[in-house]
Amino acid sequence: MSRCYLTTPIYYVTAKPHLGHAYTTIIGDALARWHRLLGDDVHFLTGTDEHGQKVADYAEAAGKSPQEFVDEIAPLYAQAWQRLGITNDDFIRTTEERHKIGVADLLQRCYDAGDIELDVYKGKYCVACEEYYTDDELDPGDLCRIHKRPVEYYEEENYFFRLSRFQDRLLQWYDAHPGAIKPEFRGNEALGLIRGGLRDFSVSRTSLKWGIPLPWDPKHVAYVWFDALSNYITAIGYGSDEERFNTWWPGTHLIGKDIIRHHCVYWPAMLMSAGLEPPAGWAVGGWLLVGGEKMSKTSGNVVNPLDLIDDIGVDGFRYYVLAETPYGQDGDFTYEGLIARYNSDLANNLGNLAARVATVVGKKCGGIGPAPRADSPLAAAAATAYEATAAAWAEFAPNRALDATWQLIRATNAYLEANEPWKAEPGPAVDAVMGDALEALRIVAILASPAVPGSAQAVWERIGLAGQVTDQRLPVAAAWGSYPAGQPVTKGDPLFPRR
C-alpha cells in the first residue's frame, strides 16, 4: 500500500464557489477515488483561504467582522463539495488555530535560517486597493486599472524572503525530479521562470491587520504566500503533530496554470529554507473558460455548478468536467457541450448498455444473470481497458482514462449488436453472451466509479452485486471472470434519461 496525499488549492472566500473551483476539486476527487480503488492510503485535502486585506474590505462593506464574514462563506464551499460528491478527508480553513501555529513555525524556521530579512519595499501603490503594482499592471499615466486614479510612490519596511538565493537549489532539485510537474509543458514553464532569474518577495505588511503576525516582529502580518501555501502542511500537522506530518508529507498539489510561480517556485524554496522536503509533485490544469473568457464577476459569466447539477445530475456534470478537456489545457464550457457529452457518452453508451443488458436478461434469462465465459472475446477488451485507464490516471489525464474505460462500453455494445441476443431463443448461446456483457458491465462500474460514483453504484446493484463498488480493489477486481452467476438483474429507471 502506498500513501497518496492530494490537495486542491484553497479557495479565496471573496467569491462563492463557481465552476472554476468545482473543476479542480472534481479532478482531485476523481484522482483520490482512483487511488482508493488501487488500495492506496489516501488523504485528500481542500479548504478556504480566509485572510488578507480584500477579505477585511469585503467584511467591512457587509457590516461584519472579518471572522463573521468568513464564517458565512466557508460553509458554502463545504456544502457545494458535499453536493458534488467530493470525498475530501479534511477541509482546512486558514483562520483555524492549527494553521496559525504552523504558519508561525514555518516563518520562524525560514527567519532562523537567515532567508527572511527586513528591507525596504519601494513601488507604485494604489491606496484604494492597498496593493503595489508593476508598470505593466497599470494603465497609461500610472492609473490603477480598478480605480482609474494615479498610484502613489511608496516606501515601506517589509520582510522579504530571499528567493534569489534559491535558483541553483531549485534547478538542481527539478533536475533530480524529472516529471514532477505534469503535464510536461507546464513543467517547462516553471523551469523557465526559475532560469529567468528570481526576485526576493515580500512576506509581510504593517498595514495589514487581518492575518497572522510574524512571531519575531508582530507589528508585521504575514502577506499572502506564507499564509496561503502553508495550508498544505499545517492541515496534516506541521507545527502541531510532527508524526502525522511525517506520515503524509510530501504531497501532490493540483493547481491552476495561473499559480505556477507561487506553487512551483516560491513554495519549494520556502520548504527548502525550513529544511523540509519540496512537494512530491504538481498537476497543473488550464482554465475552464466560459465563452472563451476566464470567469469573473466583471465579465458577468460566472457559472454556478450547483445550477448545472439540478439540470444534468451530479454524475453528468462530473463526467463532463473530467472527460471534456485534457487536463493542463484550457477548456471552454458551453451548455450545449455539456448536453452533447451527456447524451453521447452517458445516455447512449453507458446508460443504453445497462438498460439493454437488463432487458435481455429479463426476457431471455429469467432475470437471473448467467456466468461469463473464461474465453470471452470481451476479455481482451476488458484487460486493455483496465491497463489504459490505469496508465492515464497515473498521468493525471482523466479524459484519457475515461476514454479508455468507455472503449470497453463501446466494445460491449458492439458485441451485443453483432450477436443480437434479443433475437435468439433462450439457451446456452444467449446465456454466454449475456454473462460476458454482465461481466464487462461489472468491470466498467468499477473503472467508471471515480467519475460517476452514484451511477456506478446503481449499475453494480442492478446487475445483482452486493456491497459498494468503491470497496473493490484493483487490479484484482478488474480481472476477467469474477461476475457470479445466479444474481437477480433489474432494469430500473433510465440511469441517464436523454436531454
In 10 A of CB 65, how many CB atoms?
A: 13
**Beta pairing partners, 284:** 255
**CB of 152: closest distance to Zn ion in angstroms?**
11
How many residues contact Zn ion, by CB under 5 A? 6
Dihedrals phi, psi of 326, to nearest 5 degrees? -60, 130
Q: Site for Zn ion (CB under 5 A): which residue of 122, 147, 294, 498?
A: 147
Q: Which span sits near Zn ion by CB under 5 A: 117-125, 127-135, 254-262, 389-397? A: 127-135
Q: Is the bond preceding residue 250 a cis peptide, omega within 30 degrees?
A: yes
Q: Which residues are catalytic?
A: 18, 21, 126, 129, 144, 147, 294, 297
Would you say 140 or 197 has its CB closer to Zn ion? 140
- Comparison of 144 and 255: residue with beta carbon closer to Zn ion: 144
Q: Is 128 in the site for Zn ion (CB under 5 A)?
A: yes
Distance CA 45, CA 90 (A): 5
Please choose, out of 106-114, 140-148, 195-203, 338-346, the segment that lies near Zn ion by the rule CB under 5 A: 140-148
Closest distance between Zn ion and the C-beta of residue 138, in Å? 10
Give whichever of 150 and 275 is closer to Zn ion, judged by the CB atom. 150
Chain residues 291-330 in contact with Zn ion, contact rule CB under 5 A = none
Nearer to Zn ion, 128 or 429 (CB): 128
Mind giving me the DSSP string for 151-211?
A: -EEEEEEEEEE-GGGGHHHHHHHHHHSTT-EESHHHHHHHHHHHHT----EE-EESS--SS
For residue 77, give the H/E element and its range: helix 66-83
144 binds Zn ion (CB under 5 A): yes
Residue 299 CB coordination number (10 Å): 11
Residue 473 φ/ψ, nearest 5 degrees: -125, 125
* Closest to Zn ion by CB, 139 or 307: 139
Three cell numbers written together for 411: 466494445
Stretch that binds Zn ion, among 68-76, 143-151, 393-401, 464-472 (CB under 5 A): 143-151
Taking CB under 5 A as the rule, does residue 146 contact Zn ion?
yes
Report the alpha-carbon distance of residue 257 to residue 396 in Å, rounded.
15
Point out which span in 119-127, 175-183, 278-286, 425-433 binds Zn ion (CB under 5 A): 119-127
Residue 283: Cβ within 10 Å count? 22
Query: How far is 68 from 64, CA to CA, in rounded Å?
Result: 6
127 binds Zn ion (CB under 5 A): no
Out of 126, 382, 385, 444, point to the residue binding Zn ion (CB under 5 A).
126
Angle CA 161–167–172, to nearest 5? 130
Near Zn ion by CB under 5 A: residue from 129, 191, 259, 368: 129
User: Is residue 82 within 8 Å of residue 21, measured between CB atoms?
Assistant: no
Minimum distance of Zn ion from residue 297's CB (angstroms):
16
Going by the DSSP 8-state scheme, the letter that residue 346 receives in this structure is I
Asked if residues 462 and 354 have their Cβ atoms less than 8 Å apart, the reply is yes
In the complex, the smallest distance separating the C-beta of residue 62 from Zn ion, rounded to whole angstroms, is: 20
Considering beta carbons, is residue 129 or 371 the nearer one to Zn ion?
129
- Asked if 209 is part of the footprint of Zn ion (rule: CB under 5 A), the reply reads no
Mention every residue, 6+ apart, whose C-beta is less than 8 A from residue 344. none
Cβ at position 149, least distance to Zn ion in Å:
7
Residue 277 contacts residue 31 (beta carbons within 8 Å): no
Least Å distance, CB 143 to Zn ion, is 9
Query: What is the Cα–Cα distance from 466 to 452, expressed in whole angstroms?
Result: 18
CB closer to Zn ion, 146 vs 424: 146
Query: To the nearest whole angstrom, how small is the minimum distance from the Cβ of residue 301 to Zn ion?
Result: 23
Give the range of 51-59, 83-91, 136-144, 486-494 binding Zn ion by CB under 5 A.
136-144
Q: Which residues bind Zn ion (CB under 5 A)?
A: 126, 128-129, 144, 146-147
